[in-house]
Amino acid sequence: MAERSAAHGIQAVFGPVPSRRLGRSLGIDPIPLKTCNWNCVYCQLGRTSHVVNERKEWVPESLVLEQAGRALERHTAGEIDWITFVGSGEPTLHSGLGRLIRGVKRMTSIPVAVITNGALLHRADVREELSAADAVLPSLDAGSDRLYRLINRPHSGLTFERQIQGLIAFRERYEGRLWLEIMLLEGVNDGEEALRDLARAVSMIEPDAIHIDVPSRPPAESWVRPAPEEGLIRASAILGDAARVLHPSEGSFDLGGYDNVVDAVIGIITRHPMRADQLERSLARWSPGQVREALAQLEADGRAQVVKRYGVRFWTVVGARYVERERGRPDDA
């Protein structure tokens, strides 16, 4: 169920939504769209127009906790497997993240996860705040500085060495579950050399699990392609027994909090760009004709747009920036 604030016009809590890693996940998003310290080439929300590395209260803490409380009142524990902090950018950029995690945990016994790029784990304060979560899912897409800069395109104040050292330092004291996430891209980080570099980095971090993922929604850059089956098999072999390939999740989005189809469409595509047929299935309480009419209205109003990837049309919000390239991937960052 989506939770809103008429006063602020902010929707910080959404779902539950189906998650490949976490089952039915109630999402908490304390960050405005594309407020991030990375500009990943594969991001489904498009390019980061202004890469920032400043921690502040991007969304009021009181608003986030109020909406989380209302959402939890409307669902039983059996309807939600995890409560997940996952930003429309990078959630650790919210200066009150630790208080938000602890505030939610006071409300419920449902476990709390944080999906993060891990770029700020070199900071002791961020490591302390994340220690309150039951699971932390940081990214590690590269085992070398060159690929780190090519794939993640970080803020100038961030380095590959800091990324690795932050993950190692967090693992040393963190008592929860550390699940490392690797986004595998064809011809970029799915080759033997790149994967062996990743394996060396992973061996220093010692995560509880490694989740291998591929882009399933439109990447920011048109040259990005998901690693083929050959690359996934190679990654599983090199990264070892702790690694498993994630597959697209099945299930529907909880959209009970929306009174009309237009708001429901926006509620989905703001965080999950989708094909029109996927939207029609997710919005089954309305007819396919009503969904198509809503999409046409949103496009005409300048609130939704179509981006084409892999020959497929995906609907996403206006403001998300996707870049077309006539040629293949750049040779360096």
Can you give the pLDDT at residue 189?
Answer: 98
Q: What is the pTM of this model?
A: 0.86
Is residue 253 scored above 70 in pLDDT? no
The token pair at 143 is 């085992």
Average pLDDT rounded to a whole number, residues 93-110: 97
pLDDT in tens, 204-226: 999 999 999 999 889 999 999 99
Using left for φ > 0, alpha for ψ between -120 and 50, and beta otherwise, residue 9 falls in left
Q: Where are the domains of the chain?
A: 3-258
* pLDDT tens for each residue of 130-161: 999 999 999 999 999 999 999 999 999 999 99
pLDDT of residue 255: 59
Residue with tokens 């502040």: 56
User: Per-residue pLDDT averaged across 54-68, rounded?
Assistant: 96
Residue 277: is its pLDDT beyond 60? Answer: yes
237 or 310, which is more confident = 237
pLDDT > 50? residue 8: no
Q: What is the pLDDT of residues 183-201, one digit of tens each?
A: 999 999 999 999 999 999 9
| Nearest CA-CA partner of 68 in 102, 97, 26, 8 | 26
- Given CATH 3.40.50.970, say whether it is the number of domain 3-258: no
Of 290 and 202, more confident: 202
Residue closest to 167 by CA, chosen among 200, 237, 118: 118
The confidence score (pLDDT) of residue 247 equals 74
Tell me the percentage of the chain whose pLDDT exceeds 90: 61
